[in-house]
Amino acid sequence: MRRIGIVGAGPAGSAAGFHLAARGFSVTLIDRAHFPRDKVCGDWIPHAALRELESLGVDAAALPGATLIRGTALASPAGLETFATLARPARCIRRCVLDDAVRDRALAAGCTPLLRDVRVGSDRLLDEFDLVIDARGAHTAAANAVGLRAYWRVPREAMTTHERACVRLFTDAAFPRGYAWIFPLDDGDDAVRLNIGVGMLRSDSRRGHTVTDFLARFETRNPMLRRLAPTAVGRERPIGCHVGLGGWATGTS
């Protein structure tokens, strides 16, 4: 039997481990983090990803805090907002919940967990495997961006039904190569948990123009957040992480 080592137990690594173990391979799922573990962004799960979760036996609708998403909105630096209704509904699910659920399916399929910070390319442990899959996400290569996210908890009645079922993305002329987001998550009968965050290229960071400055600007200038801030019954401390984004390109026609 071929032995396979998968470095990274996030959704990609755990999904690969599930399918391989289900087909009879000996799979070791290696990660440096204790699960459940959190992640800054990624709470928005589109329909295609929900289909993949179904193939793993994960019922996304049954996960704690899962919110049905029916629309998306994109706002320009001038504040103009374009809304689109999704052809197929999506979900918002906290990554600490989603990642743990996918990893549990991989372990149930027969994957062996290993808690270890592996250095791909130099760790002799990996020599023990016939095949190694690098599923470390942003850590696979040098991360070129940084993200910062905070959770707010607001009363359900403070938001409209439309706002509770829509993910929003924003651009800002002061941070032209960055973006911001508001993702709603269910937090019980009386509250909504909002994933509020920003991301930007690390090379654009300078004094007075950091990801922390970007988040502060977003929280104070966004009309929806200004309206909701006085109602918030809880605001978690922002946390950040490195992110790998595609290269920036411009073109002319």
Q: Where are the domains of the chain?
A: 1-39+95-139, 44-93+142-245
pLDDT of residue 184: 97
pLDDT digits (tens, 9 = 90+) for 184-211: 999 888 999 999 999 999 999 999 999 9
Kindly provide the b/e burial profile for residues 99-123, where b requires at least 16 CB atoms within 10 angstroms of the residue's own CB: bbbbbbbbbebbbebbeeebeeeee
How is residue 32 written in tokens? 């440096």
| Residue 118 to residue 123: CA distance in whole angstroms | 6
SS3 call for 219: helix
pTM as predicted: 0.89
Eight-class DSSP state of 251? -
Phi and psi at 66, nearest 5°, equal -65, 130
SS3 call for 213: helix
Q: Could you tell me the pLDDT band of residue 42, with boundaries at 50, 70 and 90?
A: confident
CATH number for region 44-93+142-245? 3.30.9.100
CATH T-level topology, domain 1-39+95-139: FAD/NAD(P)-binding domain (3.50.50)
